[in-house]
Structure 1
């Protein structure tokens, strides 16, 4: 699997990844503060409800939505708070949640812009691939690098089945990869992937324990992932699946948009590269056909051109035709067995290429035999050889 070279925006990607991790850690820390505060205010009586609120918030997978759940819980409790200290604590939590929501929103806007720009640069590098094989060999690595995913899987779709196919190098050795690369999955049993083919849109999956999630996702330990179809509307030829690793952060709406942009660009590049490859093959074939025609024309004119270069040879050869008639049998007997084989095929009208194929010898060897036959029979071209041979066939001796 080929690996794309490093590029300057890698530093920017590392920056937004660190920033994203920091913000997610702050969301988790705020959730713990909310839980402790609500439990303390209720003297532990509503601890189970508080726990449910925090768990439900975490299940949303989206940090912004998580903060909204926590903020609403604090606001609801604020309406029943008693004492200045309790009110202040809840108000601070609400303000911190709102401020963190704004930070997350701004971070998503900036990171989305950076990641989409990186996506375009990655597609530009893939555009330099001149064969389908080189394109496929680079695509998963490039998708991981420029889209910011830890794991990328490219699958192909054939006859209503999904075939896991290529992965980036970071996960090529994971134990679940090889077994699934040897299997296929019926699409009619997969609600999500089957719907992707029909709707032709990307999907962000935040709950991998729900219905319609393929077993390959569970085997890979994915907590959330993004899936996109590859190919034109109505005739998708594959899927991209990507996530941030079994232990990484949950995928976001930005992840969905970035992978979708990459999948669209890759689909067009695949079609373009396949078309160029087909055109090159056709051009090579046409060149081969033209070469065969050129060789045939050269054979037809070879002897005549020699006469044009040496016109004085014509009369001598013409004058010798009568004497050759008296000694033709002896000359035919002077041919070797292989030269006799070549002569038989010349009389049948075979060209040099056909003679080489039928006798399983090289084209150069055929030319050499033809020259020897012309010399031994005293002929100036193939037509004269044919006429002489047909005239003396009865005198042929093995």
Structure 2
């Protein structure tokens, strides 16, 4: 693919890239030979793509950091210096576009792998523009959210010295017939060129957006299971036109970003639900601890037998032992419980949650010395009968 550079420029870039790959390989050999960490370096750097070497450098850095605590103190300084060198050569390779202009599977996988390492929604959003720019060679990249037929810029990436003013595009309507509308409707990237006769593939008329200059741009949709949630715009800093291959590459990259974004969003929501569940369990634990420490008055059942438990009314002036320990709300709950109401019916009656009803029932059983609801009603009948007999005697 013609990358728009002169043969001399391509030759210089090839030499610089080759030197960077050779340096990276030597650092990988040192890390493995001196410390036993990281992957084996490629034996032939001329046949290794920059993306593959970047992925190996990432793996080597992770392995070195994991093993830092397992080596002796005198070796930690040497390992630290080597990791800094690996970081520096990785940055040079990452920032330099490939002389071939072709991105291999390893390059693409390396970019996605680094995105996956972001883990959070915010981290992904911060990383996607720089990764897209480094992988495609398109120096100007915008990430935007799509809401109510409007795309709003949230992140940007520009080549050094080419930072145009994007304030006019902070929030832009998706106009009918625009490339953005086509990308959203077709869920596919659109190549926008100034002259349709010079383009191939799904190119369309150039949109009047001053930011992207005369060379045209690519717009790719970010798609999740619910639809298109964002767009990635990308173009060159100069007037060279983006290619169909770069359109397809950005389209695949945006699709991978959408998958990772949705996964991170679900993970964050699950973490929040887990946090709420743990808080609720702690709350129940404190409630149970309070119940275990509550005072309990155990009744002594008589052999008279139990009266009907199907419907019992609690008089408001009852002073039977045990019932005096009930709070006003517990008395209301017990009155409905004695009438044969279920927890759900009691909750509806008193306009409280079922969880609160269960808590009140536990406290009532404790205070009455009962094992279950039926025994609680029996103890109430026993206590009220004893209270009535006492009144007749006096």
Larger radius of gyration: 1
Give the alignment's TM-score, normalised by structure 1.
0.47
User: 1 or 2 for the larger relative contact order (CA 8 Å, sep ≥6)?
Assistant: 1
TM-score by length of structure 2 reads 0.47
